[in-house]
């Protein structure tokens, strides 16, 4: 990948609230991320939210961010707050 391609990649950190723990939210997020070809992670937070870091091509990142607003069928998402971060090259999408 040359520098011009790297310059177009983005990263966002999102906090997802609602009924998002114990409903396969992280595993489902990973499935979507792999399907879209983005990297990052999904992990539970002590306050009951899930934190998602997603990095990659803007269109794919946008699609995952849109999916976070719905989540898997068992989830009930009430809020998604995302902030942009500097792009960071990651090798995969992990679930903690």
> C-alpha 67: how far from its chain's center?
9
Domains and CATH numbers, the chain: 3-88 (3.30.70.100)
At residue 43, the 3 state secondary structure works out as strand
% of the chain at pLDDT higher than 90 = 89
| Model pTM score | 0.91
* 56-73 per-position pLDDT tens digit: 999 999 999 999 999 999
88 pLDDT exceeds 50?
A: yes
* Average pLDDT along the chain: 93
Catalytic residues: 26, 44
7 pLDDT exceeds 70?
A: no
Residue 96: its pLDDT value, please?
86
CA distance linking residue 96 with residue 79, whole number of Å: 21
CB 25 within 8 A of CB 50: yes
CB 30 within 8 A of CB 46: no
Residue 1: its pLDDT value, please?
46
């Amino acid at each position: 990948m040359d520098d011009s391609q790297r310059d177009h990649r983005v990263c966002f950190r999102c906090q997802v609230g609602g009924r998002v723990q114990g409903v396969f939210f992280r595993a489902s997020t990973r499935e979507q991320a792999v399907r879209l070809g983005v990297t990052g992670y999904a992990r539970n937070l002590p306050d009951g939210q899930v934190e998602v870091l997603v990095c990659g091509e803007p269109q794919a990142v946008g699609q995952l961010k849109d999916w976070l607003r719905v989540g898997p069928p068992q989830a009930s998402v009430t809020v998604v707050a995302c902030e942009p971060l500097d792009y960071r090259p990651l090798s995969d999408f992990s679930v903690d």
